[in-house]
Each structure stands twice: as C-alpha cells, then as structure tokens.
Structure 1
Amino acid sequence: MSGSLSEIKTKISSTQKTGKITNAMKMVSSAKLVKSEQDSKHFQIYASKIRQITTDLLKCDLTTGSSNPMLIARPVKKTAYIVITSDKGLVGAYNSTILKAVLDTIQDYHPDGDDYSIIAIGGMGADFFKARNLPVSFELRGLEDNPSFEEVNRIISKSVEMYKNELFDELYVCYTHHINSLTSQVRVEKMLPISDLDAGEASETGVSDFVLEPNRDAILEQLLPQYAESLIYGAIIDAKTAEHAAGMTAMQAATDNSEKMIKELTKRYNRVRQAAITQEITEIVAGANALD
C-alpha cells in the first residue's frame, strides 16, 4: 500500500512540473501573439496603400482588359501551392488542419499528380509532404516568430519570378487565417495571376494625381510583382499570428488538464492513504483483542 502512495505522489509531482512548463509556454505564446497582432495591423496599413495605388494605376486596364502577364489568366498546365505551417508542434490542430485541407485540394484537382508543385514554408509541412513523396520544389524553415519581409523575401520573390517565367500558371497560398485567439480559418487563396483588384475601388481621379516617371507601364512592371509579394507576405504574417494563438490555446488546455489530473490524483492519494490508515488501525485492534 505504501508503494502505491509513493507512486501516486510521484505522479502528482511530475504533473505539477509539467503544468508549470505548459503554463510558462502559454504565457510566451501569449506575448508572441500580442506582438504578431500588432505587426499584422501595421502591415494592413501598408497593404491598403499599395492596393489603392495599384488599383488607381490599373483603373483603365481593369475595365477594358490588360496585356500585363501578371494580370492575364493563361491556360493552366501547372499549379503551385505555397503551404504555410509551423516548424514545431505543440500548437494543437494548427498543422493537421491546414495539411488536410491541402491534401484534399490536391486529390480533388490533381488526381494525376504531375501538374502541381509545393513550396513549403515551415518544417512540419515540408516533412509531411516529403514523407508522402509529394513534389516539394522549395522549402523554408526556421522562420522567426515575427518574420521580417527580408527574411522571407527570397522564397517569395522566387515564387513570383517562377510565375513570370511560366514555370507554373497559377499560384495559391494555403494558410491559417487568424480571426481571434480562439478562432482560425483555413484559406486557399489565389495570388497569381492577380485577380482580386476591382476598378470600382479606384479613386475618382485615377492616376491624374500622380507624376509618372518614366511611364505607367514601366512602373507597373515593378509595382505588380511587389503587390503580389505583399499579398504573400501578408498571408505569412497572418499564419504566424494564428500559430501563436493556437500555441497559446493548446498550452492553456494542457495546463487545465494538468490541474484536473492533479485534483484527481490528490483524491486518489487521500483515498489510498485513508485505506492504509484504516487497515493499520484494524490490525492494531485485532492484535489487542487477540491479547485479551
């Protein structure tokens, strides 16, 4: 009986230590989430401005049609998917949800398996696809908790350049959209060709307020790739924010479970201890009666 007491006491101690670790990890994820939400808000200001400028410059093209390859939908021979996951676990269903959505998309739209490629951002996704022999063209691991544009620019600009060189004809980004600390949403959004601009959003003056040098077409040649890159970068920031929220929620759940387990183990410990005391008293009384 004393051995059982010792075993339960050891389980209580180890669970308490685990609870302290998960609680600390929750606090770390919470701090990262606050910082990431701030970065996301700041980026939205930039994204709104570059969208407005791009829409104003393209007002006529969006109405009558454009000859710019970044805007023209061409016959789709190959599709590329940028899939954003985390580098490590302990984030609940964050990775499994987005990976399942990507697998479903591939099975639905690419049954032959030779008309798509994957650009993996995050070690969990890269390992997942490689283990299933799926075509991973590029991968990026070890992103900072709040990645700068310079950190991800290489893979983003490479993706846009591959599209311009017609190595694939469509580019989608698959990521987890952050809604709030408890809610997220899987998104598969087309980034190229650019199709989310609306002439109705253009300002009334259009480009008349701009002094264009050397000319509009030359500016668009530089601006449209930057606009596409900003969309992809925005998705990465959004996904990172959702990752931190998922980590915070998962560690909160783990901490709550450890507290619940400690309470149950404590009750069990008290019952076993009481049973041991009762047995000892019974043996003492029985021994005393035998002497009489």
Structure 2
Amino acid sequence: MASLIDIKQRINSTKKTSQITKAMQMVSASKLGRAEANAKAYAPYVSKIRDVVTNVAATGNSSDHPMLVSRPVKRTGYIVITSDTGLAGSYNSSVIKEVYQDITTKHNSSDEYALIVVGRTARDFFKARGMNIVLEIEGLSDHPAFAEIKDIASNAVQMFEDGVYDELFIHYIHHINSISNELRNVQLLPLTEFHEAGEEAEHDMTVYEFEPSEQEILEVLLPQYVESLIFGALLDAKAAEHAARMTAMRSATDNASDLISDLSLQYNRARQAAITQEITEIVGGAAALE
C-alpha cells in the first residue's frame, strides 16, 4: 500500500491538474460563444450568394464555365481542416482517419491525389507518412477573418483551374451544439449542383438583369462562392474545435474530481490504519509493562 505522503502528493497534483483543466474549459467556452456567433452571422451571406449564382447559372449561357463542368478525374484534391493543438478529444483524429482511409482506398499512388492541410495536426500526420501535400496552413487565429484565408481559398480555386486536381473535397467537423458534432465531406469543385439547381431556378419568379454579361459575372462570382464555402467551413470547424476542447476539458475535470475522491478515501483508510496500528502498539506496550 502507498504511504500517506505518496497519496497526499497524488491528491495535491491531481487538484492542480483539475484547476488547469477547469480554466481551459472556461476559456474554450468563452471562445465557443464568439465562434458560434461568427458562423451564424456568415451563413446568410453564403445562402444569398448561392441564390444569385444559381439564377445566373440558370440562363443557359454559362454551362460551359470550367468550374461548372465535370471532367475526367485524374487527380483528386482534399482540403483537411484540423487544429494546431490537441486536447480536443477526437476532433482531429476523426477527420484525419476518414481522409486517410479515403486516400488509401481510392488511390494507388501520390500522383492521384493532392492535399491542402489546415492545422498543424493534419500537416504532421500526413507529412510523417510522406503523402502528397501541395499546400499547408497553420497558425490561424481562433476567430479568423476572411482576409486570413483569402489567399488559401484563392489558391485552392486556382489549382483546380490550372488542373492540379480535377475535383476538390473539403473534410471538416460540423458544429451542431456544445455536446455534438458531425463529420462532413463536401464536394467543392466542380460545382455540378448548379445544373440541377438551375433548372429549379428557371421557375423562380425573381428576374435578374445582368450588366455586364452573365459569363463575366460568373467569372467573378463562382470563385467568390467557392471561397465563401471554404471560409464558412473553417468558421464552422473552429466552433466545433472549441466545443470539442471544452467537452474534453470538462471530462478531464470530472475525472480528476473522481480520482481525488478515490484518493481521499484511500488516504483516510490508510491514515485510520496507521492510527489503529499506533494505538495497538501503545496498548501492547502498556500491557507488557504490567
């Protein structure tokens, strides 16, 4: 059995750990509130720009735009969003695991895929395995502004137009609420969704007048739309990251409290046993003197 001093030291160290995890939980909770607000505030913009692009694409003169046309897939692009740090439960591992399984299942060589990794965790994982990373981003703030990812999104779109890959998917954790989230895999390019959406838009009573031409407008709108999807996914993933870290730190704090309770009980039993032993020795010594 451990000595009283050893048990007491474990109790003290666990209490200190509990204080740290409790503080981290409170910090994550504070960041989560702002991240949720950012994600919700950005959603109407994405919805509106999608409506506009749908109506422009429904004119019939834009179906040959490179971003709207599927082409033979020789290489697939993957955008993987993770965090720069850990202590967030399964937040990072679930995304990385899905992407890694997709790559190993669908592709036979590194020439068949290209990775754009956001976050140090994903970068370290895929780089350690010698996988084909064409762009890596780390050090984004907890509440990123669009200016921070403008170049990232523009590069991702430009790589598609340059033929670096023929289709592009984004993998991230979607934030539902503070205790639940889901893994999402969304195709960003090509924008085949607008073919079907365009047919529905033809029956819409909304009438748009275009100046300049529809083609020129799409040249500007389509890249902006994809960039907005990437930024929206990043905001969503940041909210999920803070929620996952808050949940993980809450669980760590609860586990520390349970451990402190068990150690305190063990300490009290050991102390009672020591007291009983001392009393027995005193009684035995007194009896020997009689």
TM score, norm. by length of structure 2: 0.95
Identical-residue share of aligned pairs (%): 49
Q: Distance in 2 between matches of 1:87 and 1:241?
A: 14
- Map 1:65-76 → 2, pairs under 5 A: 66-76=63-73
Distance 1:196 1:186 in 2: 21
Q: Match for residue 23 of structure 2? A: 24
Aligned to 1:234: 232
Query: What's 2:165 paired with?
Result: 168
2:173–2:182 Cα contact (<8 Å) kept: yes
Q: Which residue number corresponds to residue 246 of structure 1?
A: 244
Give 3-state SS (helix, strand or coil) of 1:28's partner.
helix
Q: In structure 2, what is the equivalent of residue 5 of structure 1?
A: 4
1:113 equivalenced with 2:134 (yes/no) = no
- What is the identity, as a one-letter code, of the residue corresponding to 1:134? M
Alpha-carbon separation, structure 2, partners of 1:188 and 1:15? 39
Question: Which runs of structure 2 are paired with 1:204-219 in the superposition (5 Å)?
Answer: 204-206=204-206, 208-210=207-209, 212-219=210-217
C-alpha displacement at 1:202, in angstroms?
6.3
- Give 5+ residue unaligned stretches, structure 2: none
Question: What's the CA shift for 1:111?
Answer: 2.5
1:202-257 per-position Cα deviation (integer Å, ceiling 9, x unaligned): 67234x343x2222211111001100111111111111111111000000000000
Aligned mates of 2:51, 2:112 — CA distance in 1 = 34
Which AA in structure 2 matches 1:99?
Answer: I
CA deviation map 1:42-67 (0-9, x unaligned): 10011111111111111233xx9701
Q: Does 1:104 align with 2:70?
A: no
Identify the residue that residue 275 of structure 2 maps to in structure 1.
277
Conserved in 1, the CA contact under 8 Å of 2:62 and 2:215? no
* Partners of 2:284 and 2:223 in 1: CA distance: 90
- Distance in 2 separating the partners of 1:177 and 1:107: 24
CA–CA distance in structure 2, aligned partners of residues 181 and 101 of structure 1: 22
Distance 2:189 2:143 in 1: 25
Which structure 2 residues correspond to residues 33-112 of structure 1 after superposition, within 5 A? Answer: 33-61=32-60, 66-112=63-109
The question of whether the paired residues in 1 share the 8 Å contact of 2:117 and 2:136 is answered with: yes
CA displacement 1:53-92 (0-9 Å, x = unmatched): 111111233xx97010010001111111010000000000
Indicate conservation of the 8 Å contact 1:52/1:202, yes or no.
Answer: no
SS of the residue corresponding to residue 109 of structure 2 reads coil
Question: Aligned with 1:272: secondary structure?
Answer: helix
Q: What is residue 224 of structure 1 aligned with on the other side?
A: 222
* 8 A Cα contact 2:169 2:186, kept in partner: yes
Structure 1 unaligned segments of length 5 or more: list them.
Answer: none
Q: Distance in 2 between matches of 1:123 and 1:167?
A: 23
Call closer, same or farther: CA 1:221–1:108 in 2, change over 3 Å.
same
Contact 1:12/1:262 (8 A) holds in 2: yes
Contact 2:169 2:188 in 1 (8 A): yes
AA paired with 2:145?
S
In structure 2, relative to structure 1, the CA distance for the partners of 1:202 and 1:241 (3 Å cut) is farther
How far does residue 201 in structure 1 lie from its aligned partner after superposition?
Answer: 4.9
